[in-house]
């Protein structure tokens, strides 16, 4: 008897669902045009944010040198917390985690130019921004690509992770993986 009641409720529910469907109409998957329209609906603020990471002299919109890489402003709460841990674990006088500017993936950005930003939304609060950087003064000219995994926090776009260019001579892991590995290694070091 216990089994008969749930089965009856399930059958009744299924019957109500089926009877409410309009005969002759079937649900269809979104067309490729609808999917493309959704992908094109990238929030322009995401691209504006990415361009603000680079000085105007390099094709961006930042006045001066761009944001401080240790400041919380460009980073998601998660990534800012990891960067904060690296600062806490860095012995005085040591270099710390960042050996290069993560926005240009370089130590010297002379001749660097932001030549492309393509934002692809993943949903309302997540997007990927593919960035193309060109170093014209390198011989031959060098192109670097990286992708910012963006998250919207409190209505503002932030960098949650950076997927590094794997075609470079010395490819790197994603930023968050690198931060976690650096923190683990620093914690494993004996106290001086």
| 32-85 confidence digits (pLDDT tens) | 444 445 445 779 999 999 999 999 999 999 988 888 898 999 999 999 999 999
Confidence of residue 192 (pLDDT cuts 50, 70, 90): low
Confidence of residue 14 (pLDDT cuts 50, 70, 90): very low
User: Read out DSSP for the chain?
Assistant: -TTHHHHHHHHHHHHHHHHHSPTT----PPPHHHHHHHHH---HHHHHHHHTTSBGGGTS-BSTT---TTSSTTB-HHHHHHHHHHHHHSPTTS--S-SSBTTTTBS--TTEEEEEEEEEEEETTEEEEEEEEEETTSSS-EEEEEEEEEEEETTEEEEEEEE--TTSSS----HHHHHHHHHHHHHHSPP-
Q: Is residue 122 part of a domain?
A: yes
Considering its fold, how many domains does the chain have in total? 1
Could you tell me how far CA 72 lies from the centroid of its own chain? 15
Q: Is residue 26 part of a domain?
A: no
Q: Is residue 6 part of a domain?
A: no
Query: In percent, how much of the chain has pLDDT > 90?
Result: 53
For residue 184, which of 82, 109, 116 has the smallest C-alpha distance? 82
Whether residue 21 has pLDDT greater than 50: no
Name the residue range of residue 142's domain.
Answer: 36-188
Q: Is residue 1 part of a domain?
A: no
Whether residue 172 has pLDDT greater than 60: yes
Q: Are 136 and 113 in contact (CB under 8 A)?
A: yes
Q: Is residue 15 part of a domain?
A: no
Q: Are 42 and 127 in contact (CB under 8 A)?
A: yes
CATH at 63 = 3.10.450
Q: Is residue 78 part of a domain?
A: yes
**pLDDT value at position 110?**
85
Average pLDDT over the chain reads: 81
Q: How far is CA 64 from CA 35, 45, 53, 72, 169, in A?
A: 39, 20, 10, 18, 30
């Amino acid at each position: 008897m216990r089994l008969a009641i749930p089965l009856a409720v399930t059958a009744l529910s299924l019957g109500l669902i089926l009877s409410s469907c309009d005969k002759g109409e079937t649900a269809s998957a979104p067309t490729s045009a609808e999917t493309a329209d959704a992908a094109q609906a990238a929030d322009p603020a995401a691209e504006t944010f990415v361009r603000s990471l680079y000085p105007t002299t390099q094709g961006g919109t930042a006045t001066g040198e761009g944001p401080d890489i240790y400041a919380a402003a460009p980073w998601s709460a998660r990534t800012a917390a990891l960067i904060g841990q690296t600062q806490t674990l860095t012995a005085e006088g040591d270099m710390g985690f960042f050996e290069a500017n993560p926005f240009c993936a370089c130590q010297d950005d002379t001749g660097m130019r932001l030549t492309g930003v393509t934002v692809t939304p993943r949903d309302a609060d997540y997007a990927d921004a593919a960035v193309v950087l060109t170093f014209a003064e390198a011989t031959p000219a060098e192109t670097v690509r990286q992708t910012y995994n963006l998250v919207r926090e409190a209505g503002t776009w932030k960098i949650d992770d950076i997927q590094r260019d794997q075609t470079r001579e010395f490819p790197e892991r994603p930023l968050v993986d690198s931060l976690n590995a650096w923190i683990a290694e620093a914690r494993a070091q004996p106290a001086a």
